[in-house]
Amino acid sequence: MAPATEAPGDVIATARITLTPQESKLRSLLLDVARYIDESKEIKEQLELRFAGGWVRDKLLNIPSHDIDTAINVMTGYAFSLKMKEYLDVPENRLKHGIESVSNLHKIAANPEKSKHLETVTTKILGYDVDFVNLRKETYSVDSRHPQMEFGTAKEDALRRDATVNALFYNIHTDKVEDFAGGLADLHARLIRTPLAPHQTFIDDPLRVLRLIRFASRLGFTIDPESEVSVCDATILEALKLKISRERIGTEIEKMLSGQYCSSTNHTAHSILRAYYIQAMIPAEPLNLSIGWGCTRLYLLIQPSLRCPRLISAVGIMRMTAWTL
């Protein structure tokens, strides 16, 4: 991983990465599409494209990834994808980039009930699963984890994310990684930290607590001390009960338990999971939970009255299941 360098403006630091030949082909294609759109004069501002989030984090950690989220500054993902298809309808352009066709553009419509407040598009290009979505900022209500979204800046988009290491961008125009939230330093420190104050981050979307544990489990990182304090706050547990379904929590736990470093995740995970199972998921149901996190075994005793299909799937439940972690 290249060392970070200071940069002016909203960017805290930048870094360089080396693209593979195939990644360079994708970058070249998207730069040509952006140029094509700019030259059309259909939009007033100059188009900027950034690879976002997980792909950037994994690239800096030398972890292979074929899923690339592409953030756009002044167009929706759907509008951009239509212009890309228009560009590739020209045979010479397809030949230049070695692409036969782009006919499998899958539009994901806005659906606030499923956290889809902006329409996005996903497609397969040059062997990559690429999602297109505009940069955005979020506003939360008290009783829901589903925010109202609108166009935002790169910094606003970075600060809305769950962890600083997931808030990095690769600007395809400057060929630099942009850090608006301290993610580069946290990658070096192997630290999971929220871009904004953790209490507000978790109140807005309590599921982020479990997501932080999942990333710590997957990457072998440590959760920062301030977040440790916040996740044990009673108001966060209440927000989880109010805003998050059992099934959605089960999905995160399933991913968490499959993490490479599940057995070595710090003691915070033990405390958090115990609190969330007992106080948030099933506060009125009998549950015997003992987690030797980082030690030997995880035991779960779940009563028949517990109705959580995702959780049952996650822990491979009968009446009692034991793992060697």
pLDDT at 252 over 80: no
Cα–Cα dist 79/121, whole Å: 9
> Span 5-188: which CATH code?
3.30.460.10
- Looking up tokens 């952006």, which residue turns up? 34
In this prediction, residues 40-44 reach a mean pLDDT of: 89
Please compute the mean of the pLDDT values over residues 138-145 and round it to a whole number: 59
The mean pLDDT value for 25-36 works out to: 97
Check residue 58 and give its pLDDT.
96
More confident of the two residues 265 and 127:
127
The pLDDT assigned to 141 comes to 57
Indicate if the pLDDT at residue 92 is higher than 70. Answer: yes
pTM: 0.77
Q: Identify the band that residue 6 occupies on the pLDDT scale cut at 50, 70 and 90.
A: very low
The Cα–Cα gap between 224 and 167 comes to: 16
- Residue 195 confidence (pLDDT): 94
Q: Which residues of 155-180 are buried (b: 16+ CB within 10 A; e: fewer)?
A: bbbbbbbbbbbbbbbbbbeeebbbbb
pLDDT single digits (tens) 172-224: 999 999 999 999 999 999 999 999 999 988 888 888 888 888 888 888 898 89
Q: Is the pLDDT of residue 69 over 80?
A: yes
Q: Which of 21-25, 64-68, 153-157, 291-295 has the lowest mean pLDDT?
A: 291-295
SS3 72: strand
Instruction: State residue 181's pLDDT score.
Output: 94
CATH class of 191-324: mainly alpha
Read off the pLDDT of residues 267-307 as tens digits, 9 standing for 90 and up: 555 555 555 554 444 443 433 333 333 322 233 322 332 33
- Has residue 66 got a pLDDT over 70? yes
Q: Which long-range contacts (CB under 8 A, 24 or more apart) does 104-107 make?
A: 105/81, 107/78, 107/81
d(CA 228, CA 193): 10
What gap in Å lies between CA 42 and CA 132, rounded to an integer? 19
Would you kindly state where each structural domain of the chain is located, as residue ranges? 5-188, 191-324
